[in-house]
Amino acid sequence: MYERFKDDQGQAFSEFTDGDHTRRTYLIVISVALAVNLLAWVVAIITPESIAEWVGFVADISDKVKAWLLAVPFWSTFFAAYAALRLPRYANPTACLDDDDIMASYRDTEKSNYIRNRVLFALGIAAVNTIALVFVVIWLGEGT
């Protein structure tokens, strides 16, 4: 079952981050990801004690399950932030260069730096969101 993921080696993720998608695609990604993230926050705020008990129960079962619990708000925030950062079209002054031009390597490096900076910034936003969500669950869970 997992053999196809071994062959993929992150290509689907790279296709999303490296590809230039339509504005509509980015807006759909933002909408779905923010809805999932909002749902995680609503559940965390409304029932923190239930989540704390469930996380305690899951903690006894598996570390992978704990990782999946944090992966949902993390990746939903990442995809929303990254799509929002990519909404403005990438304007590369060297984009008109052909692949055989002397500055083609500079053009490719410039675009990869542009993408890398947005990925890192979106990862930072996702990390802050996930840490804040964990603190809210802990803080509200202890208060009741």
Predicted confidence (pLDDT) per residue in 6-49, tens digit: 555 555 555 666 566 677 888 899 999 999 999 888 888 887 77
Tell me what pLDDT residue 96 has: 60
Per-residue pLDDT, 80: 94
Q: What is the pLDDT of residues 81-137, one digit of tens each?
A: 999 988 877 666 656 656 666 666 776 777 778 888 889 999 999 999 999 988 887
pLDDT tens-digit readout, 49-91: 776 666 666 556 666 766 777 788 899 999 999 999 888 776 6
pLDDT at 25: 85
Give the rounded distance of the alpha carbon of 32 from its chain centre.
Answer: 12
DSSP letter at 29 equals: H
Please report the pLDDT score of residue 115 as a whole number: 82
pLDDT of residue 133: 87
Render pLDDT for 1-17 as a digit per residue (tens, 0 to 9).
445 545 555 555 556 66
CA dihedral 34, 38, 71, 141 (to 10 degrees): 160
How many CA atoms are closer than 13 Å to the CA of 143, on its beta-carbon side?
10
pLDDT of res. 1: 41
At residue 31's C-alpha, the angle toward residues 44 and 85, to 5°, is 105
Alpha carbons 58 and 66: distance in angstroms, whole number: 7
